[in-house]
Amino acid sequence: GRIFVSDAEGYKFSQSLVNNVRSAHGECEFDKVVSLNGVYLSNIVVPTVQSQDQGFDNSKSKGQDDLESEAAAGAELDTKHGRGGMLGKQMPKGSKEERTIRTVASFDKGGAWNYLKPPRVNSLGKTYDCSGKSAEECSLHLHGTTSWDLFAPFYSSETCVGIIMGTGNVGASLRFEPDETSTFLSRDGGLTWMEAHQGAFIYEFGDHGGIIIMADDLKMTSMVLFTWNEGQSWYDFKVSSVPFEVDNIITEPNVTATTFIMFGTRAGGEGVLYYLNFDALQFPACKGVWAADSVSSDYETWAPSDGSSAEPCMLGQQLTYTRRKRTSQCWNGEKFERPVRQKACACTQSDFMCDIGFTRSVGATECVFGGLEMMPQSMLPSACDGTFQVSAYRKVAGDSCENGWAPTPSDVPCP
């Protein structure tokens, strides 16, 4: 599938991303990081034959074949995945996803896409073998919604600013073998990542991100893992003497409490439900929200970044959030209100996306003309001599940058 993004008026749509993963039922692996404006994660299928042509004619020539093969692959996945249908959620031996799938992220509402930066080491301290390799050869890849029956998809919550979790692997593409899958966590909106634990886990947040809990998602377990310092250290405890398959962990809708419900199924088919109350840790209430960054405060300030600007800016502004220090052993509390400050940033090329008729490849900043077939007839001149000028860039809708970089018109061949 293709992803298109409109201008601020919702009138002009231009192409943002091609080859988006979708299932036979129409589910698309395209999700918003709901705690930050403009941040999206998506999975894409890498074409068998590499081509830089993202135009419509190229897709038309092989569109029907791709549609049939993609539907077949989606149906195959639907058959393999059986959450609740088979104990242990074990994928049949020898079954693999035939397509090459990679994860990409955008920090500017789809204006540009890049591969996820892999962590330097895994949760055991072993270095990932990414040195000297390109992003195509070694990046972090995460499972999306079409894998939900087997692996938990990338997940964020509006009240847990900057925190994202997902299951996947580091390498050239997304792997579907359980022994190749680990659980990852980001605390800066997806810019950098750490391996939280080896293996696939199901997870949930609480206390505005002040606590994260998870349990094994592929095999029966009686253990729960939790962290109060955003993955810096993990602790476990036993909830049952009889192992069970965990279906899910949930909390109240705002994800601000420290209580959770975990439910699942035992080997005999009996359903089980556990109530988890982390108030038993007896942490005090956090202090010093209005004196963030001071020694006496439990809070710090943090400004999310797209990683491409000299200063931490996203969508043309610097938003500074107050969040609990990672080492502060205290609760935010359900009534915590997060202070936010903002200021405008100077415009850079990352504040602009490709206009109609132009495309960007993953990892690229330049917008390249995609061919006349990508432009509506109304935009083509009635009379033309050799070339005509059009805009290759337009400011991302909602971007509030000021001054700085400005695009110039581009020459394209006449029809």
Question: What distance in Å separates the CA atoms of residue 234 and residue 298, rounded to the nearest whole number?
Answer: 20
Question: What distance in Å separates the CA atoms of residue 305 and residue 57, rounded to the nearest whole number?
Answer: 36
Residue linked to tokens 């969508």:
315
| Cβ atoms of 392 and 369 closer than 8 Å | yes
| pLDDT given at position 161 | 96
Strands 358-359 and 402-404: unpaired
Determine whether 58 is exposed, middle or buried from the number of CB atoms within 10 Å of its CB (0-12, 13-18, 19+). Answer: middle
Question: What distance in Å separates the CA atoms of residue 197 and residue 261, rounded to the nearest whole number?
Answer: 21
> Which pTM was predicted?
0.87
| Cβ atoms of 297 and 285 closer than 8 Å | no
Question: What distance in Å separates the CA atoms of residue 89 and residue 302, rounded to the nearest whole number?
Answer: 39
410: left (phi over 0), alpha (psi -120 to 50) or beta: beta
Question: What distance in Å separates the CA atoms of residue 323 and residue 179, rounded to the nearest whole number?
Answer: 35
Residue linked to tokens 């129409």:
26
Q: Please give the structure tokens belonging to residue 253.
A: 């809708």
Residue 87: φ, ψ to 5°: -65, 140
Question: What distance in Å separates the CA atoms of residue 381 and residue 385, rounded to the nearest whole number?
Answer: 10
| pLDDT given at position 50 | 55
Question: What distance in Å separates the CA atoms of residue 98 and residue 101, rounded to the nearest whole number?
Answer: 9
| pLDDT given at position 174 | 95
Digits of tens for pLDDT over the chain (415 positions)? 888 888 888 888 888 899 999 888 888 899 999 999 999 999 999 987 655 555 555 554 444 444 444 444 443 333 333 344 344 454 433 345 678 999 999 999 999 999 999 999 999 999 999 988 999 999 999 999 888 888 999 999 999 999 999 999 999 999 999 999 999 999 999 999 999 999 999 999 999 999 999 999 999 999 999 999 999 999 999 999 999 999 999 999 999 999 999 999 999 899 999 999 999 999 999 999 999 999 999 999 999 998 887 789 999 999 999 999 999 999 999 999 999 999 999 999 989 999 988 999 998 889 999 888 888 888 888 888 888 889 999 999 999 999 999 999 999 888 8
Dump pLDDT digits (tens) for 138-174. 999 999 988 888 899 999 999 999 999 999 999 999 9
In DSSP terms, 40 is beta-bridged to 32, 106
Give the full edge-to-edge strand order of the sheet including 271-277.
245-250, 259-265, 271-277
SS3 content of the chain, % helix, strand, coil (to 5): 15, 35, 50
Strands 410-413 and 387-390: antiparallel
Contacts of residue 190, defined as CB under 8 A and 6 or more positions apart, other chains included, come to 33, 39, 41, 105, 107, 116, 164
| Cβ atoms of 206 and 257 closer than 8 Å | yes
Question: What distance in Å separates the CA atoms of residue 194 and residue 38, rounded to the nearest whole number?
Answer: 22
| pLDDT given at position 147 | 84
Residue linked to tokens 């962590």:
119
Strands 245-250 and 368-369: unpaired
